[in-house]
Chains A and B, each alone.
Chain A
């Protein structure tokens, strides 16, 4: 006679961990709660603030319609800030990702000390932004600037009128963009190294045998293959930069004369420092529709490209 194992009824509760319909919701609950409490709620609150007359001195939820939006759009500072934000974001993406790509290409080559070089490249990521900006501040300093010292020593600028990196409006804008690009650079390097490593060796060898030189291999084979990963990096970098204020706030506080103000820093100044929460919320929300359209567009392009 063969014996068939019987279920032990008392052990039923143990099967709780086998029940996907219980465990599934349980495991996803923290993520959903996180999104609801820390993303959705503040977002909805911001939308409400933007159509109210809420300030920290007069915390009323009085509905004022789109008045705040018109106020903000009519302001010269805001329009300047908007233009700055685009320059800052696009400029930093181009510099950061482009340099990241070339650095990644160099770091793909075998050479002694490659490991150390890779670690050093990633360093800007690991340094707290406030600390890093201190170093940049010294490099851009009106008296002790190491950049100016170098330029003067090389005879490129007049020693009596060295550039005031953080004091002249255009140069200050360039300075904050460069510093932010420097922050994005390691991310670009990592993304491109990951991309390059994912291209099969056979494909590269085939392209070489098929007569593709350096440029054709890079721009007709490698770049299209790694495009999806680069687009993700671009989306991430763009959204991250559009909403970031740290470099501007730490380096120039938006000055001189609001010439380096970006949406994040202006919103912080108006909404938090000056206490005008309603107008701060408007500034914050202003780019949301554009960002949304941009992200949707890039994600769609990505799906079409999928290989």
Chain B
């Protein structure tokens, strides 16, 4: 699971080092509004590849699951610094292209102007038809107009097949494979974009949909009007209302809030027998639906902390001790007065994936809060730290063990900030279940964040909710996802301005995504600066 945990939560060596991660950052000095990693080529993430294939060919088989897995070492899988293209990935592209085109061709049961591929019949209409199919598909797949020379190059594959005595359908399918294996498909390429509006269309659609632009976007780009502020604004509103914006729940929140990790979390079944696959799924769905309500509605996103409702089904409601929820379907549930739950930091899935399989980790939970909600990652741990005892002495709580450990001067620096936050969540065990006793001793949930002391999870949420750090961190996180790289000094001014707008406009998530989508994070082209 290591590679799928975002910044910080990878295991290394021992002790405090075993709790958190020291993955080196590769960021350097910044330059202009495009950050320090100005680029024109960016390969599709696995999610983007699958979604693009879905929208391009009507194929929902998720072929990218066979590819080498994307990394989340630096937060989001679309971070350019981690998007390498190993040979095994190209092998995957090649195999997928052949399969996808064969299946796609078969999916079109007849010739039709709205077919996925077969808009005419090469067998009867000849080479011109083949060229029509290939050119149309390349334009859609490459998300931009294609040049005559490019179509001509693809058509050599049609002629190759003809030279072997094969028919035009065989040759057309070869050329279509070439479209999917081409760097023009597997990379976002700004260099060949005929107009900046096509690049803009792609940036918008991969940000909000994790997929290719649709016809509306491409039509606006073809007309050269997409960049106009009123057009851009209405397109972004349309995109956020589109079902494909579910990608922000699945991919953005999936990585930000770790919902992607929840179904495969593995609490020790002997210690946590109630954690069934269906319960883990319900935990995933709770956090996803909770986030989605903020994305779709106009409630202030600051209420992600300390909300008075959540989403439960009967199994999860029983687990939480919330009465009156029936059935396996997830439903919106107002939380009763006095509930221990309410807000992200009380949701079992998040508490579970920031624990070890046998015990909680105040370090990992504290680091999760600091990274994901506070945007202040603690420094990596020093080497050579002794581990915590695998079997705690009788009566010792995890808090006591960790406090003892953190007295080591080598550790105290990194632990002070993280542990003091994580201790506040100790009322939830490693599977997110409420508890008041750890190893026979009553749990102390006093903690502190940034100099503010608090008592327990709900009070910690109030501290975070009341701080200007939260809107700034939410903005920075969405911005990083939009630009697809680590943010650096050169981005701070843009983030500060966006944060101001975000707060001034009711702090809604939909507003934040719309602001970022219409800001320089998305609209500014950086390709020119790459000519070095």
B is a partner of A: no
B interface vs A, CB < 8 Å? Answer: none
